[in-house]
Structure 1
Amino acid sequence: MDDGSEPVEVLYADSDGSYAASLGDALRTHEELSVEHVADAETALSRLRAGAFDCVLAQRDLGATDAMTLMHRAREASPGIPFVLLVPDGAADVAAASRRAGANDYLVRRDPERTAAVAADRLAVAADHQSPGVDYQQVFEEATVGIVVHHPETGEIIDINPWMSELLGYDRSELLTMTVGEFSAGEEPYTQDQAERNIRRAATEGPQRFEWLDERADGEPVPVEVSLRRTVIGGHDRVLAIVQDITERKEREASLRRQSRRMEEFAGVVSHDIRSPLTVAEGWVDYALGDDEGIDEEAALERILQAIERMDEMIDDSLTLVRGGGEVDATEPVPMAEEAPEWWEVAATADAELVVDTPFTVEADPNRLRHLFENLFRNSVEHGSTSSRTESGDSVEHGSTGSRPPADDSVEHGSTSSRTQSGDSVEHDSTGSRPPADDSVEHGGTADGDHPRAGVTVRTGPLTVDDPVEPTVGSLPDEGSVEGFYVEDDGPGIPPDEHDRVFEAGHTTDANGTGLGLAIVRRVADAHGWAIRLGESDSGGARFEFLGATLRANGEDDSAGEHDGAGEDGSAV
């Protein structure tokens, strides 16, 4: 060119090889243009990433990819590049739509020589940003994504747009003196060294896309997605970073993961917990269909109905837990001396004993609290009593003979699982309304007594921890005392190296167990905001402490006295 200026570098994308060859040759007769032809969109994108072009001219139909899609992808590869569309003759509507979609200009596809004569000036104007197209400085200033211009070798921030400044909470002038590492999370891989490596890769290997964790000026983390592209700005090689805030996306992903876990938990709760009332119903059906004289069919039907209602309640509660996101919306005072013995029925055996050391009332969702206690009770009985399974292994899965009607000898001798220490019968567990059952099921062995029973005592009561403690799961304030309650037994306990794993869903040491019981316990505690400390009882058994619970004073628990047969020494059920 006579004036010494550089020609406009045009990338021409057209799948019509014959027409493209003719138009390309015609365009090249104009000294102000340098034209490179490609036949498809993917090749066009590859060339844009590899080389510097001033303008793109593209046929409307490129086969698998249309020109508008190419335009948007081209501007990812080379942000802000001018785009001119080549449209069929008479397609005014297409031309208008392309301008609305962001194209800088359009050319009508006519005779190659005629089209080239018009195209030369129009392409030069588009490349100089003189056409009524996009004001790229305005785009930079008003974009609703972050835009950061980097030096390709050092990673230095050359420029940064207002949206990015607002996202991070810094003044633009501050950010221009900072490195990426100074407004990143800091820990691997969100470091300055890694940021520089990513920028160099974008400059030498091609576009890079990845997730990153920035940190606002107030210290709040913000997850972002970063797209890095090599480009030329003002004649200088640069790497352009397009930054999008993906906080909402991450929250949606986390919500979906939680929902998936809740659905798995729902299936687990139903299949795990529902077996106890199901076994109760089966036991009473067997009794009602028996040949013994004096069968109380009405009492049996009543107990079967109660078990069915309990199963229905458990399914409803579990669905509520799933749909409610696991959060407790409302609580009420739950008097444990009254409720715990009732919940004990799902796990109790004739040789097992529940003791409420001191009557207490806890603020909780009563239905979820029931899940917590029932699973703890069942865990203690299953792992702490050799009578929990029959010798042949032909037992109910949970090993809870209390889920079957009690045997004759338990009625005759006054089993501690159905009476308080003072001898006052607990109304809901009256042995007078229970029918006899197969003695081999009750004792976990043969009826002749060859296999003696080995029971377990489970205790619960309130507690206050004055010194800071490290919970097994959950968190607590660093200072100050915390209230809570405990459930402990005198069984074999849980080995210390298992403490961190027992609350995981599926973890079990019982070949016949589901490994969901303590996972459900943790779920309920989490929903209430309680931490759990797992330790050892004085007798060497397992002790679960639920810390952070709100307890009411004993005097406020007006109903406790009705079930407090043991007075100050605790009530045995």
Structure 2
Amino acid sequence: MSAEPAAMTVLHVDDDGEFIALTAELLGRQSDRITVISATNAAEALDLLEREDVDCVVSDYEMSETDGLELLAAVRERNEELPFILFTGRGSEEIASEAISAGVTDYLRKGGGSDQFALLANRIENAVEQARSRVSYRAVFENTDVGLTVRDVETGTVVDVNQEYCDMLGYDRETLSDITLDELTADVPGYDAERGVELLERAVADPEFSFEWPDERSDGTTRWVEVDATQVQIEGRERSLVTVTDVHERHEREAALATLHQVATEIQECETVEAACERTIDAAESILEFEMCSILVAGDGWLVPKALSAGAPDDGARRMRPDQGLAGETYQTGEPTLVEDVLDDETAEPAKASYRSGISVPVGESAVFQAVATESNAFSQEDLELAELLVSHTARALDRLRFEGELRRQNERLEEFASVVSHDLRNPLTVAQGNLELLAEECDGKHLDHVREALDRMASITEDTLRLARHGDAVEETSPVDIAAFADRCWNVVQTDEATLTVTDSPTISADRTRLQHIFENLFRNSVDHATPADGAAVAITVGVLPGGFYVEDDGVGIPDTERDRVFDPGHTTTEQGTGFGLAIVEEFATAHGWTVHVTEGSDGGARFEFTGVEVLD
């Protein structure tokens, strides 16, 4: 059910009392919405406007004390939007033109008959409804929480702006209305007035389209806004209504996130803990805009400052016990903390009394990042989250550096061990073998054979141990290797007796030749020594290709299921002559390439070693 049309109060001003009464009577007959109050002069009319809620003024032009245009000027000083109809018996083009220039709402000549009053009633209703519509539109226009600007569809000229947009950019309404798009656009690469016009036209044509734009505030700073537009009718004219939403904080956060991800690469490339911490502090200053921050790294029972921002005083951070203060709590719990005011936080023990608020974030399990300020509530939850993101990259860098340091020390110990084995075991073995040969010239016996076998086995174990120690680290450089030719070459240096080798395919893979040679030789030797078929026939070995890898298999007795999980264990052997290192070397050198080796049953019942994760070049 539609609402009843709203009533309206009309102030009729005329120095002819009889005509006032007639007008009130006839207007009442034409419209039951109109209530007429009257005044016979300008002073009385202005007094009624102060006391009554008037929706429209209808005034004669020529009156004894003042004319209608003078009254219009007085009304406009009080209310620019109130409808004002000039209803006069003296009309001319000059008066009409002057009235329109002065801002009259409508101009109507007095005439005889009721038709003239029907026309007047219609003009009053239209004027009041349009005014009320403008008031409603204005209320929405001014009371919304987004910036609004109205532009002429054809010229693009700014017709109107709301106060929210003025406040957003720091301009008064008049200045903002006169600013061109070129002047309003901040100096950001890729953004200019020409592009802005194109985007606005697209937004008007496509209601689903919006775009971000850098506006320049009155103080010269940049404010990012989101813009969408639509074509509307305002006061009967086609306009572009442009909505401007402040998205500066969101844009800055997205920009900070993107920059933090770029910085992550730089942090990961740092070669020392100090460098990684310093780069993190630099990023916290330049991207997150933290003026005073530090990183404390755990070591020797203390949390020790490793990096300090330029804005922090020299004594802005101090060495602390791992259970001391907020840094200690962060280190022990691994939980980030936002402190709005240190006076309200019992755990906070700031390095300086002037520190009032801060954030504390764990850097993995080995360090703590802290940022402080001299005023309370200086940090937000978003600051804490961005700091967590930043130091997550630092944590990975510190973990990598710690791992590399441990690996380097391990390799140094291995090299030292290899040197000891090479010198302190090889030399006595060589002496023992030499003396054994001299002794064999003087006497003979099965005991000498046992000694020779034991010494040979010790020599093999020594060589295998050295090989594992010196070549078990990750492969750094590879080269193209033709499997068929390379397998044949390795086969020719192994004592194979009557065993045979078949290579089914000839792909090229990427591998370290030295370690691949040891893989093939150890597998060939393992098959020849341990895989003799039950019928005593010579063992047949096959090298073939797998998707993303290759395999080596034999047709021997195979490896029992219960043994397959142990065959790669160093020292595991099924014969007294074996060293137990051959297959351990195979797995170690495969892993050094980044490959995976798996033992299973061969196609003819023997053992099959499958290598996957191999880079096959053709």
TM-score (norm 2): 0.32
Query: TM-score, normalised to structure 1's length?
Result: 0.34
Higher normalized helix content (fraction of residues)? 2
Q: Which has the higher contact order (CA 8 A, sep 6+)?
A: 1
